[in-house]
Structure 1
Amino acid sequence: MPEVYCSVANCFFWAEGNKCDADAIMVEVNEHADHRFNEEVGGEMVHTSHQDYAKHSRDTCCHTFKPRQ
């Protein structure tokens, strides 16, 4: 899996060097930011059967985020 960098240090999957340590990562467009998904990927529930389009990276968000306990 390619290296994924993340600066969200309070995420359960955040690792030293600002790297994401999740087995899989779900990225969605911002309009789905509050959407609940129903398949498990990277230990989180996600759904991947649809396609969206974004013009800029700022139009996307990570759905793999899980707060660190």
Structure 2
Amino acid sequence: MSQDKPIVKCSVSNCNFWGENNFCHADAIMIDIDQHATRRLHEEFAGETFDSDHHDHARTSSATCCHTFKPK
């Protein structure tokens, strides 16, 4: 199993972790289902442990959202 980070592309250019060629430079990425979009989560995730032990099922990719976002 490779220890390399996966390549993650993002179109949210005002995120602190947005990099050249739309690559995400976060150390870790938190993704949840939209049903939890209003939950109060930590504002900064990269380099921290995620506080999320629940497991959910998303029927489509459009039912998910990224909680790693941190504005520049």
| Whole-angstrom distance in 2 between the partners of 1:3 and 1:11 | 16
Structure 2 SS opposite 1:14: coil
Runs ≥4 in structure 1, deviation > 2 angstroms? 43-46
Q: CA RMSD of the aligned region, Å?
A: 1.9
Alpha-carbon distance, 1:33 to partner:
0.7
Cα separation, partners in 2 of 1:8 and 1:45, compared to 1, 3 Å:
farther
Identity of aligned residues (%): 52
Query: What count of residue pairs does the alignment treat as equivalent?
Result: 67
Q: Among 30, 33, 55, which residue is 1:51 paired with?
A: 55
2:60 partner letter: H
Q: Who is 1:35 aligned against?
A: 39
Q: Which has the higher strand share?
A: 1
Q: Find the structure with the greater CA-based Rg.
A: 2
Residue 20 of structure 1 pairs with residue 24 of structure 2: yes
Structure 2, unpaired ranges of 5+ = none
Q: What's the TM-score, normalizing by structure 1? A: 0.85
1:5 partner letter: K
1:12 partner letter: N
Alpha-carbon distance, 1:47 to partner:
1.8
| Whole-angstrom distance in 2 between the partners of 1:21 and 1:53 | 26
